[in-house]
Structure 1
Amino acid sequence: MEIMTMNSINVNVKGTTKPEVLREFADMAFANGKVSDAAGFYQDLCLREEESTTGFGGGIAIPHAKSAFVNEVGVFVGRGENEVEWDALDGAPVHCWICLLVPETGGQEHLRLLSQLSRKLMDPEFVAKLKEGSEQDILTLVQGVIS
């Protein structure tokens, strides 16, 4: 299966808090067959957030978790109207997310995806398309980075 598809994108995230947004990603991952248990994956995302923030800055966060509940590697992108407090590195709220799903044994893949995406988030053109582009734009953009 592909790491990312059109079903991996939600440009209408409803959550107004970090837990609500993480729950949306866990439910989306379950609905797409990427995780075996939404509640378990949600807990793993929350545990990762307790370690340190995934708020990258500039309104973007990269929530991620290596988890026993992940069936296969996946990347999900979400964007919403709500400004969500995320304890981001720049102190600004977040309204755009790139969620990484990696099986517990996928250490190298986890680091590769994080590294590739973090580098691209320094590119203003990439960030603008991520924040304002259509679902197809986002799919093409992110697939170009992770493939």
Structure 2
Amino acid sequence: MLEFGGVNAMRILDYLTESSVLFLDDTSKHDILTTMAANAADLGYIVDKQTFAKAILERETIMSTGIGLQVAIPHAKLSTIKDFFVVVAILKHDAEWDALDKMPVRLVFMIGGPDDNQTDYLKILSKITLVIKNPARRKALMAAKDAQAVLAAFDEL
């Protein structure tokens, strides 16, 4: 971990692996989210993919996680999740997401974690936001052809 002013600074790369980066042909929000939840379960991040997927999908009914700039950040925090994780999906095609700017989504960052740790959740969300607000990095993510290129976008953060 990097340290600034004596305080441990988290890095997005602490929560990503090559296996948590997906390249999907899906255009259905439901299919994308269930595929990403299944990936989280396969990687051992969650115990019950149905419960997690249900929480993610229910969150979408409250308010879209499409934040604009062709990015969605679906998230759920459950007591059964021990540590935070991030699964990234690079979509090969536009997906309708009901985003704030009405644009389709091409990048999805799914965050899962324990329900009693809002601080780390906000730190992860902040780091992802830094990456996607940078037009060059966002464009590089959308054009990425492999997991290494995706991880490289987060290398300095």
TM-score by length of 1: 0.89
**Distance in 2 separating the partners of 1:41 and 1:48:** 11
* From 38, 45, 50, the counterpart of 1:39: 50
Contact 1:69 1:103 in 2 (8 A): yes
Task: Report the counterpart of residue 5 of structure 1 in structure 2.
Answer: 17
Q: Which has the larger radius of gyration?
A: 2
For 1:140 and 1:101, locate their aligned partners in 2 and report how far apart those are by CA, in whole Å.
Answer: 22
1:60 corresponds in structure 2 to 71
Instruction: Give 3-state SS (helix, strand or coil) of 2:88's partner.
Output: strand
Quote the Cα distance in structure 1 between the aligned partners of 2:155 and 2:120. Answer: 15
Instruction: Check conservation: 1:63, 1:97, Cα contact below 8 A.
Output: yes
* Stretch moving more, 44-53 or 86-95: 44-53
Q: TM-score w.r.t. structure 2 length? A: 0.84
RMSD between superposed Cα atoms in Å: 1.5
Is 1:137 equivalent to 2:153 in the alignment?
A: no
Rate the CA distance shift 1:109–1:19 in 2: closer, same or farther, 3 A.
same
2-structure distance, mates of 1:34, 1:85: 27
- Structure-2 residue corresponding to 1:92: 103
Q: Give the 4+ runs in structure 1 shifted more than 6 A.
A: none
Percent sequence identity over aligned pairs: 27
Q: Deviations over 1:104-124 (max 9, x none)?
A: 122111111112211321111
Unpaired segments of 5 or more residues in structure 2?
A: 1-13
Cα distance in 2 for residues equivalent to 1:144 and 1:68:
31
